[in-house]
Structure 1
Amino acid sequence: MKRSTNLATRRAFLVASASGFAGLHFGLPQQLAAAEPSYSPSTTAQGQGGGKAKSVILFFLCGGASHVDTWDMKPQAPAEYRGPFQPAATSAPGLQLCEHLPLLRQQAHHLAVIRSVCGTVSTNDHHAGYYYNLTGHQPDASFKIEGNDRRPYPDDWPFIGSVVASRRRDQGGLPNAMTLPHKPSKAPYTRPGQFAARLGVEFDPLYVQGDIAEPLKFQVPSLVLGGDVTADQLRSRQKLLETLDVARRQFENSPIERTWKQHQERTLNLLLSAQTSQVFDVASEPESIRARYGSGINAMSLLLARRMVESEVPFITVFWKENEAIKNQCKSAGGWDTHGNNFDCLKNYLLPEFDQAFSALLEDLNQRNLLDQTLLVVNSEMGRTPKIGDPRSGGVNGAGRDHWTHCQSVLMAGGGIQGGQAFGSSDRLGEHPAEHPLTPADIAKTVYYAAGINNLQAHDGQGRPYNLLEEGDAIRELFS
């Protein structure tokens, strides 16, 4: 759907975009079947140890984290596979992690390390990997046909976070799904899978932007008032209606007009709510807390995620923000896509930053008695080739690892998860799942189970029911 040039004015776009309206071109909203009325974990989930997670934090390591150098190491594999890193003991007996994760190893009694996830996609690329891991659905043929030109489409399957958001009542404060500190990846190569799509744009995440140069500053551009609009004007219903009139008229005969009032209300709630500005104010945190997380944008994003949990946001996604200052050293965009110099990049940059920030989040939530009601998930769009050497970056001498969608690991903690365990295993080289093979659909179903969501039925535009995710099963063995 092409957006009209009538929306070019700042005020019209402000009202539309605050609730994800900027994504309306991805598709028309569909009506949900009976959504969960609020946080009300199902009897089935509660009875089996699930249903405890009031909030979910997904920490997505953009680029494809190397499973065999972090949480599924293979010290007995041949040298051309295992690399120079050594596994080390953790606070959980029998569970080992990489030696370069010293702080996380102290928190491993909270962790469940899932080592047998196969997310194979025919393209072996980022776009399809994102989609599979963010929705639980295998990518369709369009991913292979269109490659990096594959855009988010209106009939895509919805993001896991949007499904969770749709099953929780809007409490009139912050949105039910929020994503920070960026929207991967740089336009026009926006990654599919991170939107509500066929579920309806009213369930798109609200994107909060952060900057590497100013890690304490977070903002939602669509919630920044234009120079000719004041808060007093917004509080005046008459002035508001005048402001909205131009934008509203063009939708009066549109199929999406039925969601217009929802967008208006959501925008006003956010613009006029003291809660919004308070939650984003990570600078108000004690310096000792900020220092424990670290000083970078990814660290502060996790700290903001904790503040969102305290405000009872049901689903928070933190997409690792790449640091372009190191992109040439790693033959990547500055993230986990370590095509070259994999080991130095992990040891000197990626692992220390991740280790400090994520271990701090675990420790912080636990100390605040929030961990049991918050599910933490660390995932990525793929693993990396167990055999060292990517031809695109000098082969073996380049010391890189290429894309590998055939095996990856996922970390979970909190939300009823029994910590201190590994579930499943990969083969001796880390190439394929061996024991308890899983797919991203199983991971998605586990998230839903932890959040107490059983009802995955929705209706299409013609009122026909369909299941949001038929594949996969929750990994109930993870729960205490």
Structure 2
Amino acid sequence: MVNPMTRSTNSASRRAFLVASASGFAGLHFGMPQLTSAAEPPYTQAAAMKEQGGGKAKSVILFFLCGGASHVDTWDMKPQAPAEYRGPFRPASTAAPGLQLCEHLPQLAKQAQHLAVIRSVCGTVNTNDHHAGYYYNLTGHVPDTTFKTEGNDRRPYADDWPFMGSVVASRRGDRGGLPNAMTLPHKPSKAPYTRPGQFAARLGVEFDPLYVQGSLEEPLKFQVPSLVLAGDVSADQLRSRQQLLEKLDVARGQFENSPIERTWKQHQERTLNLLLSSQTSQVFDVASEPESIRTRYGTGINAMSLLLARRMVEAEVPFITVFWKENEALKSKCKSAGGWDTHGNNFNCLQNYLLPEFDQAFSALIEDLSQRNLLDQTLLVVNSEMGRTPKIGDPRSGGVGGAGRDHWTHCQSVLMAGGGIQGGHAFGSSDRLGEHPAEHPLTPADIAKTVYYAAGVDNLQAHDGQGRPYNLLEEGHAIKELF
């Protein structure tokens, strides 16, 4: 099997690299074979879901809590479970009668009338690890055996199933301007351990997200590396389309015999449109937001990423993904990469760092969208690659004394709001310990189908390179009771 992440691009010049990776479509490297053609004809909102509740989401924001958020310490607490399971956190009432969340989510509690808390998702994977968890939750497809045989060496492949954001993007047609799928503020995880599942893969590289980068040090600054000009191309030269095309034609020669040839024109045109568009720089300029709004979201990169996501909704970008940016200063404190992978010191890390940052930023996003009358047309989804062990104590971090929770793919929760979702309630339940789904058991395929339903994507047929039709996701059903 060809591994596109390791194919050589040594022959590519700096300028050719700029063009081929335009708008971040090179989530996979450029030597990859294009195994399949694009999806079916462009989606039209009016002809999509006609059933009540479906098809209302013009945009989707997926907020993915990298590392694996503990469901039993946040939105599916078990106060009646034994002490070795429930931990020290207490459930608290919210603005939605009967719906309780962790006491350390006070601002989200005030927005709970908008929330649907799905507590019965089983994303069991054969490795119980991050790579497979990402893939299952981002694509809706059960990871294949290569995830078990290759472990963390399992790279994204060209024939993987596509990211749900790429599927939505493929159905919206070419709108001009910003791409249909955008991801920020980073690409998980650090190379060479790039997480599978976040790319268009077999759907075609033209549907890969545009990757926008942000940093902990400069949270107001966002940039797209693939749109940074080469040193010998000035802004004046860029404005001269003819001069730029002459430079691109020289660069193109290096790719004449590559499989990416047939998408070259699309990438070239998209690059020019983005580089010449005033909308691109305007959308990324979060510093132009009033200070009061920025303060409401918070000062960190994850907060500013959600604020940028709101600006992308205003620019009518169909699918925006915000991958939680880990803070490496927390690595030793939480026995993690600095995110939600709390192998050790789970409760202090959640209470002092992770939950306050999440609570402020995500509640601000809901409030902001609601005040701008954008929430009903924007589906918000909070997910992660897994839950965490309901029983406290990870042997890798000192057992019970280390106060950590290990990986747990057998049960997790998903939050949804907006986009036609009826808020203020929980759907499904886990068992008394939070170990497995009990009422209304679901899988990541059901979550993906629910996203498609909300976004009005009712045609999941695509064609492979030989023109043979196939279904992008046969498993799962939309949770229509949420709408």
For residues 355-411 of structure 1, the C-alpha deviation after alignment (integer angstroms, 9 at most, x for no partner) is: 000000000000000000000000000000000000000000000000000000000
1:213 paired residue number: 217
Q: Rate the CA distance shift 1:133–1:73 in 2: closer, same or farther, 3 A.
A: same
Q: Does 1:32 align with 2:26?
A: no
Instruction: Assess if the C-alpha contact under 8 Å between 2:183 and 2:209 holds in 1.
Output: yes
- Name the % identity: 85
Give distance in 1, aligned partners of 2:32 and 2:188. 16
- Let me know the Cα RMSD of the aligned residues: 1.2
Q: Does 1:293 align with 2:302?
A: no
Give unmatched runs, 5+ long, in structure 1. none
Runs of 4+ in 1 over 6 A off after TM superposition: none
Q: Does 1:393 align with 2:411?
A: no
Q: Residue 171 of structure 1: CA displacement? A: 1.2
The residue correspondences of 1:108-127 to structure 2 (distance < 5 A) are 108-127=112-131
For residues 29-73 of structure 1, the C-alpha deviation after alignment (integer angstroms, 9 at most, x for no partner) is: 62234233444451xx33231100000000000000000000000
Q: Does 1:447 align with 2:451?
A: yes
Instruction: Assess if the C-alpha contact under 8 Å between 2:172 and 2:318 holds in 1.
Output: yes
Secondary structure in 2 aligned to 1:304?
Answer: helix
2:163 paired residue number: 159
1:97 paired residue number: 101
Q: How many residue pairs align between the two structures? A: 476
Instruction: Assess if the C-alpha contact under 8 Å between 2:94 and 2:112 holds in 1.
Output: yes
1:59 paired residue number: 63
Q: Does 1:338 align with 2:339?
A: no
Secondary structure in 2 aligned to 1:198?
Answer: helix
Counterpart pick for 1:472 among 451, 462, 476: 476
1:429 paired residue number: 433
Secondary structure in 2 aligned to 1:410?
Answer: strand
Give distance in 1, aligned partners of 2:370 and 2:289. 17
Q: Rate the CA distance shift 1:357–1:33 in 2: closer, same or farther, 3 A.
A: closer
1:367 paired residue number: 371
For residues 260-295 of structure 1, the C-alpha deviation after alignment (integer angstroms, 9 at most, x for no partner) is: 110001000110100000000000000000000000
1:280 paired residue number: 284
Give distance in 2, aligned partners of 1:38 and 1:237. 32
What is the one-letter code of the residue matched to 2:338? G
Q: Does 1:257 align with 2:261?
A: yes
Q: Rate the CA distance shift 1:162–1:27 in 2: closer, same or farther, 3 A.
A: farther
Counterpart pick for 2:142 among 138, 141, 144: 138
Give unmatched runs, 5+ long, in structure 2. none
Instruction: Assess if the C-alpha contact under 8 Å between 1:35 and 1:455 holds in 2.
Output: no
Secondary structure in 2 aligned to 1:318?
Answer: strand
What is the one-letter code of the residue matched to 2:284? F
Give distance in 1, aligned partners of 2:40 and 2:407. 40
Q: Residue 27 of structure 1: CA displacement? A: 4.0
For residues 66-85 of structure 1, the C-alpha deviation after alignment (integer angstroms, 9 at most, x for no partner) is: 00000000000000000000
Q: Residue 174 of structure 1: CA displacement? A: 0.4
1:229 paired residue number: 233
Instruction: Assess if the C-alpha contact under 8 Å between 1:176 and 1:315 holds in 2.
Output: yes
Instruction: Assess if the C-alpha contact under 8 Å between 1:29 and 1:202 holds in 2.
Output: no
1:5 paired residue number: 10
